[in-house]
Amino acid sequence: MHFVLRSTRVLSKGTIAPADIVIHNDSIAAIHPYKTINSGHDLGDLLIVPGFVDLHSDAIEKEIEPRPGANFPIHSSIIELDKKLTMSGITTMFHAVAFNDESLSKNRATETAAGIIRQISSDNQTLLGADNLIHARYELTSFDSVNTIKELITENHIHLLSIMDHTPGQGQFQSIAKWKQFHLPVYDLSDHEADMIIIQKQKDKYKSHDILKDLLDFVMKRDIISLSHDDDSREKIDMVSEMGIKVSEFPLDVEVATYAKEKNIATGMGAPNVVRGKSQSGNVSARDLVKNEVCDFLCSDYHPSSMLQAPYVMQDVLNIPLECGFDLVTSNPAALAGLDDRGEIRVGKRADIIAIDDSYVPKVMLTLKNGVAVYNGRGCLGKE
């Protein structure tokens, strides 16, 4: 396959300018000045940017169970979510599948989580438009899941691993009341059940260190990138650094994010937080981290379409140049995930490319994955 995409607005090497992009098979073969090639698919003034790389999203859980107790088959849920990803411009997705305390939810029990991961990996081989990869989330006290996680890693199903600590009194949940406010409705718990789970989590946390160290050693020997979740203090960042973790997801304030950067730890926040201007759980606004230049990437968290909207919100509200805003959802996360074959419109990179109509509310009109149209919203790839 050999064809040309052209537009008056192509984001390449940090600049938006007119260009012709030559695509051969699955890669970008050349980039030429605008309209210097005899024929091509002319997209006018649609903005052409790299496909989005999403390091963390639990949207699959909402696709499987959009309302409590309303469960859909895993296989069809994966297929349907993949459609939404390509329409949102996400060409590389890391599904954040949680291994949580089994007392909390059957949906996040070890066996269920492993089944979701294996199904995604299987479907990704032949059925899906985007690259659907796995970001396993390990809760500090989910001891029974460790061997299963190791098995999945050995089978090459897991590509990122993050550690979480949702014990009340620190991290995302600074009080028991805040923990209950979130968990009771989500997991259909009674107040008494919640109290029993909290007591057990607090007991188990004391024996978690050696188990976690063993798991991280296993992960790092296999060159899998590890992340930490909801870091809330300098002490936590110091601990994360000593463990060899290089990425902090959702640090809880600007000071913690700044300290993480000083320790050479990358930081990331949720794109929905940027779009809404506030955290869903009442923590720091991601806009504050972006303003202070201590946010390296954005992920969709739970809302895929926010990846497209966030760069425009940062431009409008924070005066961040659009080119820089797109770095947070393309080249930066690709580099942090060790994916040096994507995230940029550059010769030799994969032809993971999207075209955006941003004349009103930004909307993806075309998504290419490895040079193949996986979403073609306006017939952009019609006759040349």
Q: Determine the pLDDT at residue 211.
A: 85
Q: Give the model confidence (pLDDT) of 234-247 as tens digits.
A: 999 998 999 999 99
User: What share of the chain in percent tops pLDDT 70?
Assistant: 85
In the structure, what pLDDT confidence band is assigned to residue 174 with cuts at 50, 70 and 90?
low
User: 315 in a domain, yes or no?
Assistant: yes
Residue 200's pLDDT is 60
Domain match, 247 and 122 both: yes
pLDDT surpassing 70 at residue 173: no
Q: Which residue has the higher pLDDT, 171 or 193?
A: 193
Residue 381 lies in a domain: no
CA distance 242 to 209: 13
Does 253 share its domain with 357? no
What's the distance, CA 217 to chain centroid?
A: 24
CATH (domain of 78): 3.20.20.140
Q: What single-letter DSSP state applies at residue 311?
A: H
Confidence of residue 107 (pLDDT cuts 50, 70, 90): very low
Q: Which CATH number covers residue 372?
A: 2.30.40.10
Shared domain for 11 and 56, answered yes or no, is: no
When divided into structural domains, the chain yields a total of 2
Q: How far is residue 97's CA from residue 360's CA, in Å, rounded to a whole number?
A: 34
Q: 87 and 214: one domain?
A: yes
CA distances from 382 to 34, 45, 174, 222, 228 (A): 19, 16, 54, 44, 45
Q: Which domain holds residue 371?
A: 2-48+345-376
Q: Are residues 361 and 279 in the same domain?
A: no
> Does 18 map to a domain?
yes
73, two tokens:
């088959």
Are 205 and 263 in a shared domain?
yes
Structural domain includes residue 85: yes
Residues 24 and 172 in one domain: no
Predicted structure pTM score: 0.90
pLDDT at 62: 92
Residue 384 lies in a domain: no
